[in-house]
Amino acid sequence: MNEETAPEIPTHYWYADDSSVREVLEAVRHFRRADQEMRRRLSAGMDMNETDLQALQFVIAAESRGGQAHPREIAAYLRISTASTTKLLDRLTASGHLVRTEHPTDRRSVVVSSTPHAHREIRERLERMHAAMAAIVRDVPTGSRPHLRDFLRSMAELLDTEATPAPLTKDPAV
């Protein structure tokens, strides 16, 4: 399909007859695209694929909550096979971002931990952006922040629980 015949991407939600609802949903769509693009640039800049970056962030998040990350949890989070998880962990271990150690109480299990190198790299790349994001939040009136938080959590919950749609069907007239 060439550029002349390519269909135009809709810029609005056709089901939102209220312009203020449509504007908010368009802003959410724009944010989601920008977030995905930023993650793509971040992983490319770190010379790793997006799944590797997600795994690294998962491990760091588990540690920041005082927990540990295990290969099975990483596989479940990323929705990839244990074989793919092993290859991913091999890459991140070889690059010095993660280490695998024996579980302290279950010798059959492995604990995955981030390295100081990983923390430095993530901080160097995200610290400025996180500060700018916090400044944007500070510009939101304090009384509106709980509403904004609840809105975003509700949208995330909807997306997390939305069922996988049935595959598209062929037009019988074709």
Give residue-wise pLDDT tens across range 26-80: 899 999 999 999 989 988 888 889 999 999 999 999 999 999 999 999 999 999 9
How many domains are contained in the chain? 1
Read off the pLDDT band of 108 (50, 70, 90).
Answer: confident
Quick check: is 1 in a domain?
no
Whole-model pTM: value is 0.73
Q: Average pLDDT of 3-10?
A: 60
For 5, the token pair is 């015949």
Cβ atoms within 10 Å, residue 58: 17
Residue 133's pLDDT is 96
Domain span at 82: 19-158
Q: Quick one: residue 162, left, alpha or beta (phi over 0 = left, psi -120 to 50 = alpha)?
A: beta
Four-CA torsion 132, 134, 137, 141, nearest 10 degrees = -110
Helix pair 116-139, 19-45: axis angle to 10 deg: 160
Would residue 50 count as lying in a domain? Answer: yes
Q: State the Cα torsion 73-60-28-130 to the nearest 10°.
A: 180
Q: What is the mean pLDDT of residues 148-155?
A: 96
Q: Is residue 8 part of a domain?
A: no
pLDDT value at 117 more than 60? yes
- The answer to whether 81 touches 38, Cβ cutoff 8 Å, is no
By the 10 Å C-beta count (0-12 exposed, 13-18 middle, 19+ buried), 13 is classed as middle
Q: Which percentage of the chain shows pLDDT scores above 90?
A: 65
How many angstroms separate the CA atoms of 136 and 123, rounded? Answer: 19
Residue 174 lies in a domain: no
Strand ranges inside the chain, DSSP E:
98-102, 110-114
**126, 38 contact by CB (below 8 A):** no
Q: What is the mean pLDDT of residues 22-28?
A: 89
Res 101 pLDDT > 60: yes
Per-residue pLDDT at 15: 61
Residue 2 in any domain: the answer is no
**CATH number of the domain within which 93 lies:** 1.10.10.10
In a domain, 169, yes or no: no
Separation between Cα atoms, residue 93 and residue 110, nearest integer Å: 13
10 found inside a domain = no
For position 141, what pLDDT does the model report? 97
